[in-house]
Amino acid sequence: MMNRIDANTQLGFVGVGAMGSRIVRRLLSSGYKVAVYDLSREKAEALVIDGATVSNSLADLASTAEIILSCLTNDEAVRRVYLGPDGFLSHAASGTVVLEMSTIRPRTSREVAREAADRGVRVLDVAISGSTPAVEQGMVTLLGGGDSNIFAALEPIFKTIAKQYFHLGASGSGTAAKLVVNALLGIGMQAIAEACALGEKEGLDRDQLLTVLGKTAVVAPAHAGKLPRAMRNDYSPQFPLRLMNKDFRLILEAASQSDLTLPATEAAFQVNSDAFIFWPDLDFSVVIQEMESRTQK
């Protein structure tokens, strides 16, 4: 059994980008001791003012942290951090617990967990559902896979960073659930973009239409907040289009491996990819602008 988690538990965090840095700040503000590591030392050092310490390497982090969290860009980054020649698993002590929070292939989650188990390290995939504002407010949902007893023991950490959290099964279940959730997220946004394009073509006032849509039951909470921003043509990134594009690819790859056809996802991915050519770093809701531009042709 792992030790009881309290303010004396030393945490480590790898990958302090838009999501990771916000999670670290929540942990620090709740009294946890957190050492951070990022390929961009500048990003890591930006958290010192909040109380973090900076590790010089993965080996350095592994030597001090009892529990490691990571939030990385893609499968390649996860494999490099954990399985690479100088990766974390080459240095972590037996008994270390890892919460791997990246959106990656379920099979990568399973591979990392399997390799870690051989070294006495216990890895859970705990995917994050929510945008950067939700992370700041502690309103995200966590989707977990791996040992259920360890998941239960980690509840104090989950309560600090999330509104709700669910254990969904063995290793890879958390990342699989994240792909399911993001399929709905991406398709739903494409549906809104098409509905807006239709309404505008039929002569409806754009601002009034977006206002009304936001008050209906058919628009999910994850999408409703995008509509006032779209009224202002504000597509500054909360969840960048490039990440939604990556997730669409993972979703369709997983479906293909299971001989499953997802026609709505494929169509949404195509529009997303068209918008990606011009606006990869804007919010994924910029597909509204992509569909509007098509109505003007």
CATH 1.10.1040.10 applies to domain 177-295: yes
Rounded to two decimals, the pTM is 0.94
Identify whether the C-beta of residue 106 lies closer than 8 Å to the C-beta of residue 175: yes
The residues, any chain, with a CB within 8 Å of residue 5's CB and separated by 6 or more, are: 67, 153, 154, 156, 157
Could you tell me where in the chain the CATH 1.10.1040.10 domains are found? 177-295
Cα–Cα distance, 295 to 199 (Å, whole number) = 11
- Please name the CATH architecture into which domain 10-170 falls: 3-Layer(aba) Sandwich (3.40)
Which residue bears the tokens 């896979």?
A: 145
Confidence at residue 2, expressed as pLDDT on a 0 to 100 scale: 65
Residue 5 has a pLDDT of: 83
In the chain, residues under CATH classification 3.40.50.720 are 10-170
pLDDT of residue 1: 53
Question: From the first residue on, what is the mean pLDDT of each consecutive set of 10 residues in the chain (297 residues)?
Answer: 77 96 96 96 96 95 93 96 91 94 97 96 97 93 97 96 97 98 98 97 96 95 95 96 97 96 98 97 97 83
